[in-house]
Chains A and B, each alone.
Chain A
Amino acid sequence: MGDFEPRRERQGGGGGHRNDRRSGGFNKRKRGREDEDDFDQGYPNRRQQREAPPGTRIRKGLLEIAEDPLRLPQDVAQNLAKQTVDHYDDEYVRDTFGQVTLKLIVEQPFKIPFLAAVVQYANTDNADVAKDTIGTATSRLQEYLEAGQWREFKLVLRFLACLSSLYEEDGISPILDELFNRAVDLQTAAQDDTLGLELIKIILLTIPYLLATNSDQTLRQTVSELLGRTDIIASTQSPLESLVNPYPETNAQEEKAMPCASTISMLQRQLQEEESQGWPLKCLPRAYDPALKPAQANGDADLEVEADGNVEAKVLSKHTFPAISVPTTVSTGAKALFPDLYFSLYADQEVESVPPTSSIASCLIRDSIVDTINILDFNRNATARFLNELDCYWAPDTFVKRSTAFDKLRDVQSLGKPTWKPEDVAIDAIFSQVYQLPTPEHRLVYYHSLITESCKISPGAVAPSLGRAIRFLFRNVDTMDMELVYRFMDWFAHHLSNFEFRWKWAEWIPELALSNLTPKKAFIVGTLEKEIQLSFAKRVRDTLPGDYHPLIPASKENEVPKFKYDDEATPYAKEGREIMTMLKKKALESDVQTVLDIVRDQALAQGIQDPLVPITDIYMTSILSIGSKSLSHVLSTIDRCKERLLAVGPQSEAARRQIITSVVDFWSEHPGTAVNIVDKLLNYTIVTPMSVIQWALQDHMDRGRALASLQIWEMVSITMFKVTNRVRQVVRERNNMSLAYEQRQQIDEALPRERQGMRDLFTAIVDAVSGVASGVQDEMIERYDGENAEEAMVKAWGEKWTRVWRRKSAVEEAVVGEMFIVALVEQEQVVDVAEAEALEDMDQIA
């Protein structure tokens, strides 16, 4: 990797002396010497002599707050408070303090309690620090509230909750009350409301932070009353929950892999439990200890003192809490909300490696991690580092020591010590996003890369956690939502491709004897296929025990499939070869037509109803063969021949679907390549979405067996993604106020047609697969009579497909359905040329 000069991280937040992984050992000698300059020689070098100005130091201190496990967070916070107070008359310091604090609150939620501690320490000597910070934070809170930026709102509210002992009056309690009232309104108005649920979640997640730093009895009383009122909403199951359940209820007697309760119902129970115990809230860090005087540098104070409420020791400046007005109609925000279910691979098992679902720690830690992950998607390395240092941000002794082996937990447990493994807690949270329904906030590949980075930081600790996660997921593959099983497969194959394809495949050898129609075997087959797509057949085979080798036959190593017309036994062999030669030589269209006419005559003479079918097979197979070298080759050949291909569909639907058949047959050993080509044919409109769906789920249903095939799933998914994405784009453009009103009107007129097209496709899919689920699919009736193991398996696939596609359809309706689309209004017409041009780009498929 000689492209990179090894250099130190210049960024303040990073702890500049870590080994820069990118340099990969290049030029080690020089680095070693530099490091010596910094660390080993006892005298200060030039850099240290020139001390950074206070604003810069405070900024750096805030950014790194609580990161260093060797320094007590109380000391760090107190020290920063002192520096800030000492220089608070400096405008630069004031600005920096406010800006960095507010930015950290919404970007690094782990640090909120520590930042609040700095403000609290500072308040004992300078009332302005708290006054200014509360002022900025509340005005920010109001903005987020009005914009419906609920995550940011929640985090700033959390920060303000941590400061509750500084307020003269009620502080944030009235806000919680108002939020509750809105939630009630929303819930009353619509049964399937989700915004109200989100508001309840925000209330419940704020309460612990409010009470952890404030033991005021009146406040506790207020909270208890509020908690009594949230119960009814929090404990009622939302009708949408079943839609997004990763392990849906089945009629089968199998035990559920995990309960997947809604997060708010869990929070409600956990808070009631905390209340009955007098609010211990053990996992929350208490970085502010009022017993410590701000000037006192070494603080080995006992944390318990503070919990006893020794607040009166010093007269503190109190502050008026600025008024926040909660709008009568609260904004939904940018993204569609769905109920949040608690997903955990490790919770409530024999050994307690993560907080049990009965503990408030489960929801509090999870919420902070998930926010961190989703906010910091722009730097997966930093995120992975924060997750690795997870234990720094919670109360001491919340977790077992990092990298403690899982086998050791039992011993630790018997000693009555904490057993929560930070690695398990972090991995659990990442997986909760990978398996988030309907979709996680970011592309799945982000979460893949985050797991990869976590593994790289601490392979010895993370890899075994992953191993247990994989085994859990595999064990429960039968009952998992099918879309999620494919996400599992996609992640697993991608992950292994980053780690030399190392996995203990031997332990799944017994599953190889199963039918390909069982979810477990289908998972193995699909994973290997995905591995091959990222690598190549021989490489993947070499990583597998011999028992697996029949799954990757030598024929898969042929990079270039054979041209079937080279075989004389193939009908129209001679013409097939001629067409291929002509296309290669770019012969005249009329000459090509002459040969195709011969085929037509032969076919008709043989009594073939639709001669365009064999003609299309010859034409398309020739294109594929000429383009077999790579995707670009086949694309340029298709492009060259597109006129004739485009003319096929309007003449004969059977011939149009023959195009797909030709592709899939030609690339039978590389099913992923076939899917890619079909994808491109959709872009050219050579095949239509409906023709792909019908090809897959009617023509090639194979008595329902097709539903166990990765290729069929991918083909249908890719097609539907294209269609739904387009309808969403149409809606976006329709609502794009920067476009001319007439233009938007035109788009609005096109919307019903586009949407109907999408609905027809969903209906076609659901009809086809639910027919399999109930066993009424035509071929199934012929074939299966009475009890049959295969029939049961096929029906189960039908049920899985039905569930997934009903959900996808419901989700799209929630985004583009009539009910959710407000009437088109003419507003100030700001015509932005750039925006208008962007519209043209949306036509990827039409």
Chain B
Amino acid sequence: MPGIVAPMRNTVERLDKPSSYAMSKYKKRKRNDTHTDTTRPASPDLEEKLADATTLYVGNLSFYTTEEQIHALFAKCGELKRLVMGLDRFTKTPCGFCFVEYYTHQDALDCLKYVGGTKLDERIIRCDLDEGFGEGRQYGRGKSGGQVRDEYREEFDPGRGGYGKRFREDQEGFADEYAGGA
């Protein structure tokens, strides 16, 4: 008996959808897109695009977390097809994120529901569905080689290289003697 009210999906929010962060980023990108090129057909909706996604972006890892640790946790949601560590563009050392690819979409969704927001190596990790790993995406896009989010971080995070690099550089002008290492 179809009514005038759109069918209700669920009575509580679902955790296996793209995060609001991914959504807003995508919308921003899309807005910029249409601005430059209106002749192209509009790119599909993000949710549609991720309907078969088997890859997850994993964030807020410690720089010291190893592939084996990631494997130990993420394999709880299914066999991993591939694991790509995010690296600092210059030093080629881990910079706190990775891509995890499963064999099935369902495994990726399970991971969002059951692993995203839990701890690995004693840090709350963030998981988001991803369109898929492409070459080059394993590198940090920040000016100093790591992730952009670490550039200006003012809090000291021992798991992610201390203070943000740019922040630290800004400080260095005043207190050179405290700079150094890493």
Say yes or no for A17: interface residue by CB 8 A criterion: no
Say yes or no for B32: interface residue by CB 8 A criterion: no
Residues of A near B118 (CB, < 8 A) are 449, 452, 498
Say yes or no for A809: interface residue by CB 8 A criterion: no
Say yes or no for B83: interface residue by CB 8 A criterion: yes
Q: In whole Å, how far is A382's beta carbon from the nearest beta carbon of chain B? A: 4
- Contact between chains at B72 and A844 (CB < 8 Å): no
Q: In whole Å, how far is A691's beta carbon from the nearest beta carbon of chain B? A: 19
- Contact between chains at A91 and B77 (CB < 8 Å): no
Q: In whole Å, how far is B151's beta carbon from the nearest beta carbon of chain A? A: 11
* A87-111, CB < 8 A from B: 91-92, 94-96, 98-100, 103-104, 107-108
- Contact between chains at B7 and A99 (CB < 8 Å): yes
The residue that A103 contacts in the complex, of B11, B115, B119, B149, with Cβ under 8 A, is: B11
Interface hit among A351-359, A371-379, A810-818: A371-379
- Contact between chains at A445 and B121 (CB < 8 Å): no
Say yes or no for A448: interface residue by CB 8 A criterion: yes
Say yes or no for A492: interface residue by CB 8 A criterion: no
Residues of B near A98 (CB, < 8 A) are 3
- Contact between chains at B67 and A632 (CB < 8 Å): yes
A-contact 0/1 string along B13-38, CB 8 Å cutoff: 11110001100000000000000000
Say yes or no for A272: interface residue by CB 8 A criterion: no
Say yes or no for A29: interface residue by CB 8 A criterion: no
Q: In whole Å, how far is A639's beta carbon from the nearest beta carbon of chain B? A: 12
Say yes or no for A408: interface residue by CB 8 A criterion: no
What residue in chain A is nearest B82 (Cβ atoms)?
A632
Q: In whole Å, how far is A225's beta carbon from the nearest beta carbon of chain B? A: 36
- Contact between chains at B21 and A497 (CB < 8 Å): no
Say yes or no for B43: interface residue by CB 8 A criterion: no
B-contact 0/1 string along A529-545, CB 8 Å cutoff: 01001111000000000
- Contact between chains at A446 and B114 (CB < 8 Å): yes
Say yes or no for B159: interface residue by CB 8 A criterion: no
- Contact between chains at B10 and A1 (CB < 8 Å): no
CA distance A139 to B1 in the complex (A): 10
- Contact between chains at A841 and B72 (CB < 8 Å): no
Q: In whole Å, how far is B112's beta carbon from the nearest beta carbon of chain A? A: 9
CA distance A672 to B78 in the complex (A): 16
Say yes or no for A443: interface residue by CB 8 A criterion: yes
- Contact between chains at B68 and A379 (CB < 8 Å): no
Q: In whole Å, how far is A122's beta carbon from the nearest beta carbon of chain B? A: 18
- Given A3-B126, A13-B12, A95-B3, A494 contacting B76 (CB threshold 8 A): yes
CA distance A533 to B67 in the complex (A): 10
- Given A100-B8, A452-B118, A631 contacting B113 (CB threshold 8 A): no
- Contact between chains at A11 and B79 (CB < 8 Å): no
Residues of A near B126 (CB, < 8 A) are 1, 3
Residues of A near B143 (CB, < 8 A) are none
- Contact between chains at A446 and B69 (CB < 8 Å): no
Say yes or no for B144: interface residue by CB 8 A criterion: no
- Contact between chains at B14 and A379 (CB < 8 Å): yes
CA distance A14 to B12 in the complex (A): 8
Say yes or no for A303: interface residue by CB 8 A criterion: no
CA distance A536 to B73 in the complex (A): 13
- Contact between chains at B149 and A107 (CB < 8 Å): no
Q: Using C-beta atoms within 8 Å of the partner chain, give the interface range for chain A.
A: 35 or more
Residues of A near B119 (CB, < 8 A) are 497-498
The residue that A449 contacts in the complex, of B20, B104, B114, B153, with Cβ under 8 A, is: B114
CA distance A92 to B4 in the complex (A): 7
- Contact between chains at B113 and A11 (CB < 8 Å): no
- Given A446-B113, A673-B68, A500 contacting B122 (CB threshold 8 A): yes
- Contact between chains at A380 and B71 (CB < 8 Å): no
What residue in chain B is nearest A841 (Cβ atoms)?
B103
B-contact 0/1 string along A22-41, CB 8 Å cutoff: 10000000000000000000
Q: How many residues of B contact A (CB 8 A)?
A: 47
- Contact between chains at A96 and B5 (CB < 8 Å): yes
* B75-116, CB < 8 A from A: 76-79, 83-85, 103-104, 110, 113-115
- Contact between chains at A382 and B12 (CB < 8 Å): yes
CA distance A535 to B66 in the complex (A): 9
Say yes or no for A381: interface residue by CB 8 A criterion: yes
What residue in chain B is nearest A499 (Cβ atoms)?
B119
Q: In whole Å, how far is B52's beta carbon from the nearest beta carbon of chain A? A: 9
Say yes or no for B142: interface residue by CB 8 A criterion: no
CA distance A448 to B15 in the complex (A): 16
- Contact between chains at A535 and B15 (CB < 8 Å): no
Residues of A near B15 (CB, < 8 A) are 378-381
- Contact between chains at A99 and B114 (CB < 8 Å): no
- Contact between chains at A443 and B11 (CB < 8 Å): no
The residue that A533 contacts in the complex, of B3, B72, B77, with Cβ under 8 A, is: B72
- Contact between chains at B114 and A107 (CB < 8 Å): no
What residue in chain A is nearest B2 (Cβ atoms)?
A95
Q: In whole Å, how far is A836's beta carbon from the nearest beta carbon of chain B? A: 15
- Given A3-B21, A449-B118, A676-B71, A378 contacting B14 (CB threshold 8 A): yes
- Given A449-B114, A535-B69, A630-B66, A95 contacting B4 (CB threshold 8 A): yes
Say yes or no for B120: interface residue by CB 8 A criterion: yes
Some 13 contacts from A to B, beta carbons below 8 A apart, are A3-B59, A9-B13, A92-B5, A95-B4, A376-B12, A377-B114, A378-B113, A445-B76, A449-B115, A497-B120, A498-B119, A533-B72, A841-B104
**Interface residues, chain A, with chain B CB atoms under 8 Å away:** 1-5, 7, 9, 11, 13-14, 22, 55, 63, 91-92, 94-96, 98-100, 103-104, 107-108, 136, 139, 376-382, 442-446, 448-449, 452, 494, 497-498, 500, 530, 533-536, 559, 630-632, 670, 672-673, 676, 679, 841, 844
Known: A1-B126, A378-B113, A535-B69. 11 other contacts (CB 8 A): A5-B20, A14-B12, A95-B4, A139-B1, A379-B12, A379-B13, A379-B113, A381-B15, A534-B120, A534-B121, A841-B104
**Interface residues, chain B, with chain A CB atoms under 8 Å away:** 1, 3-5, 7-8, 10-16, 20-21, 59-60, 66-69, 71-73, 76-79, 83-85, 103-104, 110, 113-115, 117-122, 124, 126, 149, 153
10 cross-chain pairs, A with B, having the tightest CB-CB distances, nearest first: A95-B3, A445-B76, A95-B5, A382-B12, A533-B72, A630-B67, A378-B14, A498-B119, A445-B114, A449-B114
